[in-house]
């Protein structure tokens, strides 16, 4: 005859569960095990935790992993939740099993040391920021059934000083020519588009034909990139100057969905081995993909384009709604964007393409 199980335990499927009243509180939860002995140990620990909290006001022990799980479940609406989840997965082997009160700058040292060998300080700080936010929530907002916060006091989590930031490197025309000459065709097209629109790597790699809108009044088209792709989470208007327009015509028809592809497939990012090798051959090993955006901004300023127009052309966040313009405003932006093109006359290709019909939506501009 088998031994008796502890009162309050029952088996559902393969796992043992608890259903027991403890200090006028009904406890119903899974023990997470199919072993009766382990289930009894778990029940005894939970009973003691509830007694300590009810009688003495002692907080139950909760791990950082439990807090991270709660944070992710409660913040599914956040735009950056996938990035937060990635950081928490990286953090888990270092502090996931630690009690919340044991997570502090001391216990994070191994994480910081090992991560700094692989990524920049800014990326390490992102993980620290998520950790700090969770600990602050646990100490100030998250309350348990006993009226106690998950954590008595949040420790001070200091971010690392960013000593590895790379300064911007706008390209001269001669440097641009050297670099682009070394790039394969698909990257050359993307780079030429970037340096004439100020688009970011992600915006270019994910650019889709369905976002193109024809502007009949100006005999051109623009792209409106949805906010889910844009860093500042606002829809972005991309004005095509003469050079960017010619790039678009060159790649048109190669893919039904994406503007820029390689062997019929979308490109995940421009910073690949082909980019790294090309910049070394060009003697420009320090040039990043993001420097193409800096180059566009520097050239706009050198051409005398005012601050507001530079903001709009670069897709910077401002108080203006950058996808609704009058004809005069859009014409002004197009003129500003064209001011950074090499040469001033339209090519025969442009003249031909401006008279050709295209199958994409039409932007109806406001009257100026």
CATH number at residue 118: 1.10.150
Residues 184 and 262 reside in one and the same domain: yes
Does residue 307 form part of some domain? yes
Does residue 147 form part of some domain? no
Q: How many domains does the chain have?
A: 3
Residues 47 and 80 reside in one and the same domain: no
Which residues lie closer than 8 Å to 195 by C-beta, 6 or more apart? 171, 176, 292, 295, 296
Residues 218 and 273 reside in one and the same domain: yes
* pLDDT of residue 202 exceeding 80: yes
**Three-point CA angle 265, 269, 274, nearest 5°:** 90
| 326 neighbors 333 (Cβ within 8 angstroms) | no
* pLDDT of residue 274 exceeding 90: yes
Q: What tens digit of pLDDT does each residue of 341-367 get?
A: 975 433 433 333 333 434 445 554 444
Residues 203 and 327 reside in one and the same domain: yes
Does residue 158 form part of some domain? no
Residues 177 and 216 reside in one and the same domain: yes
Does residue 47 form part of some domain? yes
pLDDT at 276: 93
Residues 194 and 276 reside in one and the same domain: yes
Q: What tens digit of pLDDT does each residue of 311-348 get?
A: 999 988 765 545 566 778 889 999 999 999 975 433 43
* pLDDT of residue 247 exceeding 80: yes
Please tell me the distance from the alpha carbon of residue 173 to that of residue 349, in angstroms, as a whole number. Answer: 22
Distance of CA 234 to the CA centre of its chain: 13
- Which residue range(s) make up the domain with 122? 64-140
Please tell me the distance from the alpha carbon of residue 313 to that of residue 319, in angstroms, as a whole number. Answer: 14
Residues 135 and 103 reside in one and the same domain: yes
Looking up residue 347, the CATH number of its domain turns out to be 1.10.443.10
| Helix or strand holding residue 22 (H, E) | strand 15-22
Q: Is 368 exposed, middle or buried (0-12, 13-18, 19+ CB in 10 A)?
A: exposed
Does residue 155 form part of some domain? no
Among 186-195, 245-254, 323-332, the range scoring the smallest mean pLDDT is 323-332
Does residue 329 form part of some domain? yes
Does residue 196 form part of some domain? yes
| 108 neighbors 125 (Cβ within 8 angstroms) | no
Residues 106 and 23 reside in one and the same domain: no
Q: What is the mean pLDDT of residues 17-39?
A: 83
Does residue 72 form part of some domain? yes
DSSP reduced 3-state for 66: helix
Residues 288 and 305 reside in one and the same domain: yes
Residues 21 and 120 reside in one and the same domain: no
Residues 49 and 85 reside in one and the same domain: no
Residues 71 and 103 reside in one and the same domain: yes
């Amino acid at each position: 005859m088998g031994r008796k199980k502890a009162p309050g335990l029952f088996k559902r499927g393969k796992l043992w569960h608890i259903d027991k009243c403890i200090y006028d509180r009904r406890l119903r939860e899974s023990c997470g095990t199919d072993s009766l002995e382990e289930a009894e140990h778990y029940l005894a620990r939970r009973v003691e935790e509830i007694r300590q909290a009810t009688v003495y006001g002692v907080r139950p022990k909760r791990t950082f992993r439990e807090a991270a799980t709660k944070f992710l479940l409660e913040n599914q609406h956040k735009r950056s939740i996938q990035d937060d989840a990635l950081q928490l997965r990286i953090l888990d082997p270092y502090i996931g099993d630690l009690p919340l009160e044991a997570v502090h700058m001391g216990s994070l040292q191994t994480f910081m040391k090992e991560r700094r060998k692989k990524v920049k300080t800014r990326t390490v700080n992102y993980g620290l920021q998520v950790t700090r936010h969770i600990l602050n929530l646990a100490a100030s907002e998250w309350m348990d059934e006993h009226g106690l916060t998950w954590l008595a006091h949040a420790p001070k989590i200091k971010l690392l000083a960013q000593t590895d930031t790379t300064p911007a490197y706008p390209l001269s025309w001669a440097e641009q020519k050297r670099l682009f000459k070394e790039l394969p065709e698909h990257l050359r097209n993307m780079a030429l588009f970037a340096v004439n629109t100020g688009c970011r790597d992600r915006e270019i790699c994910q650019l889709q034909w369905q976002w193109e809108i024809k502007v009949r009044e100006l005999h051109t088209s623009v792209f409106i990139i949805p906010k889910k792709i844009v860093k500042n989470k606002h829809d972005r208007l991309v004005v095509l100057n003469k050079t960017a327009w010619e790039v678009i015509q060159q790649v048109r028809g190669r893919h039904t969905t994406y503007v820029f592809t390689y062997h019929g497939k979308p490109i995940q990012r421009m910073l690949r081995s082909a980019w790294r090798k090309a910049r070394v051959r060009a003697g420009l090993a320090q040039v990043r993909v993001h420097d193409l955006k800096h180059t566009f901004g520097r050239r706009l300023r050198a051409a005398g384009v005012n601050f507001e127009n530079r903001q709009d052309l670069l897709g910077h966040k401002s108080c203006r709604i950058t996808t609704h313009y009058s004809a005069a405003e859009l014409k002004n932006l197009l003129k500003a964007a064209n001011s950074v093109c090499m040469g001033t006359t339209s090519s025969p290709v442009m003249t031909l393409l401006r008279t050709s019909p295209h199958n994409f939506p039409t932007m109806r501009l406001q009257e100026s």
